[in-house]
Structure 1
Amino acid sequence: MKKFLLISLFFGATNLFAQQQQDSILVKEIPTIKNNVFQQRQEIDALTKKLNNQNNILGNQSQTISVLQGENKSLNTSIDSLSQLIQTNSQNIATNSNELGTKIQETGQRADTQIAQLDNSVEKNRLYWIIATLATLLLGGLIYWLLGKRINSSKTDVETQIRNTKASLEEESVKLDNKLLEVLETHLKLKQEESKSQSNIYSEKADHSLALKVADEIVRMQKNISRMDADIKGLKPLEKGIERIQANFAANGYEMVNLLNNEYDERMNIDVINFVEDDTLESGKKIISKIIKPQVNFNGILIQRAQVEVSQN
């Protein structure tokens, strides 16, 4: 009995000591537990707020779904109306297509008939036009041949008349030049006889106007002779007369310097009236191609400068 009591006391003291130790541990862990509880409450509050927000969102979505369902019903109604309208239009299109097909067929038949008639008419008109064109060409060719023949004949007559007229004019010009030469020769002889009676015939104050006039006329005559045919009547006497006057010139101290076809030099004591382009000449070459007034010397002294025209490339 005593042993039992002692054992019971021992276990009771042991349990009491153990209980005191657990109570001291629990007292130490109470702040930690409070903190955990506080954190859990905060988390619960946060979750509650989220839940309330989700409920609000769900409420808004429910309202949106209701609105969309209403719109869907309206769209379904509109689709049904459009389906009926499309069906009606399809029927109308089928009807119109049948009517148009019939009209097109009828129009095609009428067009074929009219085209056939037009082809026949065009063929006839084309034949008439071909015949008319051939007739016009034949008539035009005949007229062209007749006119060409007439024009050639007229051209030949005109050319003959021109040649005859030119020959007549040249003959008259030669006759006039021959008479002019006789007059000039007479004046030169009179001038020479008058000069012989004067003592200053060779002086620098001698009158050379007649000699210069004769020189100009000789150049003009020579230029005309170069353009005439050799068989012009009276041409040879004219050439002989020019030779006599040139000989008379030389005998009296006058000299006509022949510059024609000579190469031009800028240092020459002559007057160039005009420069003419001539592609037949060599590059850079200049030739005296025309004498307007001749160069005349008297006893080796220049009394008239030449006036010339120069051709150049």
Structure 2
Amino acid sequence: MKKNITIISFLLLMIIFLLIDRKLFQTEILKLTETISSLEKSVAVLRNTILEQNQRIKVIQGMLRKKEVRQTDNFQHDLLLYGIFSVLALLSAMIIVLLMLKKKLGFILDILCEKIHQTENTLISQIIKSASELTGLIGPSDHSPPSEFPVSTDHTLALRVGQEIHRMRKRTEHMPEHTKGLTALKNSLKRLEQAFNDKGYELTELLGKPFAEGMTIHARFVPSDEFGPGEQIITKVIKPQISFNGVLIQSAEVEVSIGE
């Protein structure tokens, strides 16, 4: 009987120990469950933190790329502006130098033209004076009628004077109106022509006149689109036509433009 009681008591103790151990095990399980839950929450928080950090890193990387692009664009823009300003400065310097050279060259050309015109006027005046003295075509300063030519069939000197009159007439027509001494030169040329005519010589004006068959001139024909079809106009007089007392003593050499 005692043995049975001892066995029962041992079993009861074992049961009590098992119950106590189960309770402790369940408590540990609860603690572990809470710890696992806390760890899961921490992991979730860490995961969210990592995601947020990744987003921030991406934003920062994007900002850095934009900043690099902006810096590159700014550098290229500054470089372009520097190049444009350099070119403009070079062009401005070149324009200033060209303007200075043009002004200086224009001043030199004005002086040269003035010298040339003065030389031409002097030479022409000397020619007129020499021709007048040799032929007696221009009278004294009081403009009294010139003396008569001696009777002669040699028109060599008169033809030379007529040729010079024609040449000087063309030259004075192309001189600028502001040329110094041009008016006096034209007046001297007009007196020479008048005296030339008074002696019986005449220069026939052919420039701008129509050409007709049978004219006693030496003509050179050139095509031209400035005139109508069939028109033939004398556009250049190379050698003037000169008559003496109505008789032709020198045939003209002209250039005739033929309309197409």
Does residue 219 of the first structure (1) align with residue 171 of the second (2)? no
Report the CA distance shift for 1:239/1:289 in structure 2 as closer, same or farther (over 3 A).
same
List, as ranges, runs of 4+ consecutive aligned residues in structure 1 with deviation greater than 6 Å: 118-123
Q: Deviations over 1:152-201 (max 9, x none)?
A: 232233234323322321222011101110000111129x98952x5xx3
Does residue 229 of the first structure (1) align with residue 176 of the second (2)? yes
Work out whether residues 276 and 309 of structure 1, in 8 Å CA contact, stay in contact via their aligned partners in 2. no
Work out whether residues 201 and 245 of structure 2, in 8 Å CA contact, stay in contact via their aligned partners in 1. yes
Q: For residues 245 and 286 of structure 1, what CA distance do their matches in structure 2 show? A: 32
- SS at 2:235's partner residue? strand
Report the CA distance shift for 1:162/1:264 in structure 2 as closer, same or farther (over 3 A).
farther
Work out whether residues 178 and 237 of structure 1, in 8 Å CA contact, stay in contact via their aligned partners in 2. no
Aligned to 2:210, which of 251, 263, 269? Answer: 263
Work out which of the two has the higher radius of gyration on C-alpha atoms and give 1 or 2.
1
Which residue does 1:295 correspond to in 2? 241
Aligned to 2:136, which of 154, 177, 189? Answer: 189
1:300, distance to aligned residue in structure 2 (A): 1.2
1:276, distance to aligned residue in structure 2 (A): 5.7
Report the CA distance shift for 1:119/1:277 in structure 2 as closer, same or farther (over 3 A).
farther
With a CA cutoff of 8 Å and minimum separation of 6, indicate the structure with the bigger relative contact order: 2
TM-score relative to the length of structure 1: 0.53
Structure with greater proportional helix content:
1
Q: For residues 287 and 163 of structure 1, what CA distance do their matches in structure 2 show? A: 37
The equivalences for 1:278-289 within 5 A come to: 278-279=225-226, 281-289=227-235
1:268, distance to aligned residue in structure 2 (A): 1.8
Which residue does 1:7 correspond to in 2? none
Q: For residues 224 and 118 of structure 2, what CA distance do their matches in structure 1 show? A: 33
Does residue 153 of the first structure (1) align with residue 100 of the second (2)? yes
Q: State the identity as a percent.
A: 28
Q: For residues 284 and 189 of structure 1, what CA distance do their matches in structure 2 show? A: 46
The alignment yields a C-alpha RMSD, in angstroms, of 3.0
- SS at 1:267's partner residue? coil
- SS at 1:228's partner residue? coil
Aligned to 1:275, which of 222, 229, 241? Answer: 222
The equivalences for 1:173-212 within 5 A come to: 173-189=120-136, 196=150, 201=152, 206-212=153-159
Does residue 241 of the first structure (1) align with residue 202 of the second (2)? no
Which residue does 1:304 correspond to in 2? 250
- Gaps in structure 1 of 5+ consecutive residues: 1-115
1:284, distance to aligned residue in structure 2 (A): 3.5
TM-score relative to the length of structure 2: 0.63
- Gaps in structure 2 of 5+ consecutive residues: 1-61, 138-145
